Amino acid sequence: MAALQNDLILRALKGEELSRPPVWMMRQAGRYLPDYIKLREKYDFFTRVETPELATEITLQPVDQVGVDAAIIFSDILVIPQAMGLTVLLEEGKGPILPNVIKTQADIDALNTGDVENRLDYVMKALAMTKSELNGRVPLIGFAGAPWTLLCYMVEGKGSKSFDKAKQFCFTQPEMAHSLLQKITDITILYLKAQIKAGADLVQVFDSWSGMLSPADFNSIAMPYLLQISDAVSKDAPVILFPKGSWYALPDIANSSATGIGIDWTITPKMAREMTGNKITIQGNFDPSHLLAPIPQIKKEVKEMIDAFGVKNYIANLGHGIMPNVPVDHAKAFVEAVKEYGA
| 71 touches 139 (CB < 8 A) | yes
**Count, residues near its own copies per rule CB under 8 A:** 33
CA geometry: angle 235, 125, 180, nearest 5 deg:
55
Which residue type does 74 have?
A: F
DSSP, collapsed to helix, strand or coil, labels residue 276 as: helix
**In terms of CB distance, is 268 or 278 closer to its own copies?**
268
Exposed, middle or buried by CB within 10 Å (0-12, 13-18, 19+), for 296? exposed
Restricted to residues 79-98, the positions that interact with its own copies (CB under 8 A) are: none
Out of 87, 100, 255, 268, the residue judged to bind its own copies by CB under 8 A: 268
Nearest distance from residue 320's CB to its own copies, in Å? 8
Q: Which of 216, 209, 151 is nearest to 178 (CA)?
A: 151
Task: Report in angstroms the alpha-carbon separations of 330 from 67, 298, 304, 327.
Answer: 13, 8, 17, 5
| Catalytic residue from among 7, 20, 48, 153 | 153
Strands (E), the chain: 71-72, 89-90, 96-97, 140-145, 202-207, 239-243, 260-262, 281-286, 314-318
Q: Please indicate whether residue 40 is annotated as part of the active site.
A: yes
- Of the ranges 74-82, 113-121, 199-207, 239-247, which one interacts with its own copies (CB under 8 A)? 239-247
Does 296 help bind its own copies (rule: CB under 8 A)?
no
Q: Please indicate whether residue 32 is annotated as part of the active site.
A: no
Nearest distance from residue 209's CB to its own copies, in Å? 12
Does 295 help bind its own copies (rule: CB under 8 A)?
no
Q: What is the dihedral of CA 212, 215, 218, 224, to 10 degrees?
A: 160
Does 323 help bind its own copies (rule: CB under 8 A)?
yes
Q: Please indicate whether residue 153 is annotated as part of the active site.
A: yes
Q: Please indicate whether residue 11 is annotated as part of the active site.
A: no
> Residue 298 — φ and ψ, nearest 5°?
-60, -50
**In terms of CB distance, is 110 or 271 closer to its own copies?**
271
Q: Please indicate whether residue 27 is annotated as part of the active site.
A: yes
Nearest distance from residue 8's CB to its own copies, in Å? 25
| 281 touches 15 (CB < 8 A) | yes
Restricted to residues 162-221, the positions that interact with its own copies (CB under 8 A) are: 162, 164, 167-168, 171-172, 211-217
Out of 62, 245, 260, 262, the residue judged to bind its own copies by CB under 8 A: 245
Q: How far apart are CA 309 and CA 103, in angstroms?
A: 44
| 49 touches 55 (CB < 8 A) | yes
Nearest distance from residue 275's CB to its own copies, in Å? 11
Catalytic residues: 27, 31, 40, 76, 153
* Footprint on this chain of its own copies (rule: CB under 8 A): 161-162, 164, 167-168, 171-172, 211-217, 245-248, 265-268, 271, 287, 289-290, 292-294, 297, 319, 323, 325
